Amino acid sequence: MSDITDRPRILVIHGPNLNFLGTREPETYGATTLADINETLQRTGDTWGVDIDTFQSNHEGMIVEAIQAIAASHQGLIINPAAYTHTSVAIRDALLLLKMPIVEVHLSNVHKREPFRHKSLISDVCTGQIVGLGSMGYLLALEFIVKTIRKQSESA
């Protein structure tokens, strides 16, 4: 059995206002709280043999710094940049530093919402994008990243 320090690490970044999940616009974002999402991800990660770190910030610069900090320590990133999806060149540029699978997740289907939400500044630098599946989108992103990491380690 491998030592826990040998377990792959995946960071999950939650952007602005996601700290109010469960109470903020539940008709759009659902009743699941951010704590519920993080707990489910950590439990699932433990079952699958990966360590999950979670981070939420309402501040663009802190999100950029979190991305920069994982280049050498993590093997995957799940990011829901929330409103910064449509505005942040800084987050996009930080993502370009990473050489790992990156999945962009949105709880709501942004393509069924206001026109300004249809354009993501980061989708083309991410490995994939999951929209409109609620909190299940995070689990699908995690499954994809775990399988990608395992496939890469088998071929190395």
DSSP the chain: ---GGGS-EEEEEE-TTGGGTTTS-HHHH-S--HHHHHHHHHHHHHHHT-EEEEEE-S-HHHHHHHHHHTTTT-SEEEEE-GGGGGT-HHHHHHHTT--S-EEEEESS-GGGS-GGGG--SSGGGSSEEEESSTTHHHHHHHHHHHHHHHHHHHH-
What amino acid positions are annotated as catalytic residues? 29, 106
